[in-house]
């Protein structure tokens, strides 16, 4: 039996950096150098530590086209597509809280030891979309979703001493303004992940 050619560099493990930015923030201009992706994430914010990294799910809904003369469909058509970026943030910072709640306002008073922040969530219909980005731990893969919206439930447990609180999010991928990017996401690769055509 023939065995596949194994490419160890294409077998990926481990988390990476998850970043976000307001809609319209400049998308980094990526280049490849020394088999790594180089790019400056100007005005992007890291979410920090997570429970289990990030999971991207893309789903396709289809419908078979049938005729009486065939048991097999003569064609399968796409009836819908959806994408979701999910992760649980372990840094319960003001900015991560605002990200999970789809916006809102943070008001600050005082400085230093007397600094106090007050967060007010957005009312229904006043939520905002953001941009999401991911950079692998090996710096050989980057993904950017230019428009997402958290459609998941945010549940933060404050239980026993060993219970770690987190902010779970499930961002629905949306089609962005075509002037920003005409597709729901883009993926950049370098090194062993960059395949010849």
Summarize pLDDT for 32-88 with one digit per residue, the tens: 999 999 999 999 999 999 999 999 999 999 999 999 999 999 999 999 999 999 999
**What span, in angstroms and rounded, lies between the C-alpha atoms of 104 and 97?**
9
- DSSP secondary structure code for residue 79 in this structure: E
**Length of the chain as a residue count:** 197
Report in angstroms the alpha-carbon separations of 132 from 33, 56, 196: 23, 11, 27
Residues 89-127: pLDDT tens digits?
A: 999 999 999 999 999 999 999 999 999 999 999 999 999
Write down the pTM of the prediction.
0.90
């Amino acid at each position: 039996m023939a065995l596949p050619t194994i490419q160890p560099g294409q077998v990926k493990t481990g988390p990476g950096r998850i970043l976000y930015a307001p809609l319209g923030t400049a998308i980094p201009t990526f280049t490849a150098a020394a088999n790594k992706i180089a790019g400056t994430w100007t005005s992007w914010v890291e979410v920090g530590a997570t429970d289990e990294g990030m999971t991207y799910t893309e789903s396709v809904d289809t419908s078979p086209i049938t005729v009486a003369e065939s048991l097999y469909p003569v064609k399968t058509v796409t009836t819908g597509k959806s994408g979701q970026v999910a992760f649980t943030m372990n840094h319960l910072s003001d900015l991560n809280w605002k990200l999970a709640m789809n916006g809102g306002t943070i008001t600050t008073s005082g400085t230093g030891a007397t600094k106090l922040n007050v967060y007010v969530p957005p009312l229904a219909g006043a939520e905002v979309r953001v941009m999401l980005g991911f950079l692998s731990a090996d710096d050989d893969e980057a993904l950017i979703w230019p428009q997402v919206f958290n459609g998941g439930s945010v549940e933060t447990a404050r239980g026993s001493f060993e219970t770690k609180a987190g902010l779970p999010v499930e961002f629905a991928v949306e089609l962005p303004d075509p002037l920003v990017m005409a597709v729901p996401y883009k993926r950049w690769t370098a090194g062993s992940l960059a395949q010849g055509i």
